[in-house]
Amino acid sequence: MSLALGAERAGAWTLARHRLAGFLALTKPRITLLVVLTTLVGFLVAVPRPVPTLLLLHALVGTALAAGAAGALNQWAERRLDAEMRRTARRPLPSGRLTPLEAAAFGLGLTVAGTAYLALTTNALASAIAALTVASYLLLYTPLKRVTSLATVVGAVPGALPPLIGWAAARGRLGPEAWVLFGILFLWQMPHFLALAHLYRADYARAGFRMLTVEDATGRGAGRQAALYALALVPVSLLPTPLGLAGPVYFVGALALGIAFLLGAAGMAVAPSGVAAARRLFHASLLYLPVLCVLLLVG
């Protein structure tokens, strides 16, 4: 009997671990980590020294909850479409690890928890921006993906709001400097997402998403747009220095990064039909943002 009881307990623990892993996967941990990173940068750039550590912790916790909510509710809304794509078919909902009701309740709970936490521990402005981030991601970007390729541009807006959450949590108001951080993140996202959309265009087409790379199978339009956004990013990324947010080390580093990123985007524009150039641009985008953030904090 003890062996049977032990096996039953082991099975229950395994099931519990799988369910916990499913709920964690709903939050899209890698995206949530990026959101927290950019919120951290917005806070640290805005706050005077010494850094109020407890306030920073509250801002990051609340933002992480809100970011997880957006990921969970997005997966709930797109559960049937996710089942059509190889890249997302093993997510918790299409794989059957969790039910739609569980995902919806979890996402709504995180939304309330994240926005309320920010309101109580930081300020109302930070909470409102977090709420706007979740709402625009779920109510605008998510449904528009099956309507128009401009959804990528719309989706870059909530993706660029986290630095404003950090800035608002630190200062209680927004200034021009905060919007420069928004602009940098907005422009960075476009080549990043266009490269990703090119790599997975067959998956997006299978699910009925109106991505630019689906509508233009040659990839020329996506390559040109990626290059234009990367070109616009170069001067915008230099603005923190004249605005007093960073020094000459940042300026030189941001210029070098911007040129390298632009060359990667130009490579996709010149060779749009192959995936190698898109993959190089995607990897370059993954390197660009964290390095720029470090430069902004130390340069």
To the nearest 10°, report the CA torsion of 70, 74, 77, 82. Answer: -160
The model's pTM: 0.91
Q: In this predicted model, what pLDDT tens digit does every residue of 138-160 receive, in sequence order?
A: 999 999 988 888 889 999 999 99
Q: Which domains are seen in the chain, by residue range?
A: 12-174 (1.10.357.140), 176-299 (1.20.120)
Dump pLDDT digits (tens) for 10-54. 556 777 788 899 999 999 999 999 999 999 999 999 998 899 999
Dihedral class, residue 246 (left if φ above 0, else alpha if ψ from -120 to 50, else beta):
beta
Amino acid present at 142: T
User: How many Cα atoms are found within 13 Å in the side-chain-facing hemisphere of 244?
Assistant: 4
Going residue by residue through the chain, which has 299 residues, state the pLDDT in tens, using 9 for 90 and above.
565 555 556 556 777 788 899 999 999 999 999 999 999 999 999 998 899 999 999 999 999 999 999 999 999 999 998 898 888 889 999 999 999 999 999 999 999 999 999 999 999 999 999 999 999 999 999 999 888 888 899 999 999 999 999 999 999 999 999 999 999 999 999 999 999 988 888 888 887 888 777 777 667 788 899 999 999 999 999 999 999 999 999 999 999 999 999 999 999 888 766 688 889 999 999 999 999 999 999 97
Instruction: Find the angle CA(248)-CA(238)-CA(287) to the nearest 5 degrees.
Output: 95
